[in-house]
Amino acid sequence: MTIKKNTGRLILLLYLLLSMLCTISIARATDHYEVVTHPGVSEKTISRSTLRAIFGMRLHEWPDGTAIRIFVMPDDAPLHAIFAKEALNVFPYQLRAAWDRLVFSGTGQAPNTVSSPQEMLAKVASTPGAIGYLTKSRMDGSVNVLQIK
């Protein structure tokens, strides 16, 4: 009798833990990202194709001639995966393959990788021409938000 009682409690406990983990994952996934730029970048809107060209390392300058400096999260970061899939319509491994081709062929370089949202905010805010992405909850007004159209 005690074994059945303990098994029932264990199942209930596992169910509650699983429910909490799912809730945490959903909360993180719904904290929407924004494409952010250095305050000196005059662009306010950007087309999806231009955004893809920038993060595909095919577009190197803003319309005013300022060099574009790209900052990304690590390949395995959840925010990076969401950004790549939703904003660029590619998988993270496809981005990495394109960047690696540029590096290994000697025709370009990969974007700068930051290790945390705090570092992304600091680098984009302090690097002229910079572009990156952050969740809304991480922004503090030190960067511009680009509208994707």
Residue 25 has pLDDT above 50, yes or no: no
Q: What would the pLDDT profile of 93-131 be if each residue is shown by its tens digit? A: 999 999 999 999 999 999 999 999 999 999 999 999 999
- Residue 5 has a pLDDT of 59
Q: How confident is the model at residue 136 (pLDDT cuts 50, 70, 90)?
A: confident
- Residue 124 has a pLDDT of 97
For the chain, the average pLDDT equals: 86
Q: What would the pLDDT profile of 78-96 be if each residue is shown by its tens digit? A: 999 999 999 999 999 999 9
* Residue with the larger pLDDT of the pair 35 and 7: 35
Angle at 144 (CA atoms; ends 126, 114), nearest 5 degrees: 45
Strand order in the sheet with 45-46: 45-46, 144-148, 33-37, 130-135, 69-72, 112-113
- Residue 30 has a pLDDT of 45
- Average pLDDT on 5-20 reads 60
Q: Would strands 144-148 and 69-72 be described as parallel, antiparallel, or unpaired?
A: unpaired
Q: Where are the domains of the chain?
A: 1-30, 32-148
CATH of segment(s) 32-148: 3.40.190.10
Please give the distance of CA 98 from its chain centroid, rounded to a whole number: 17
* Residue with the larger pLDDT of the pair 14 and 102: 102
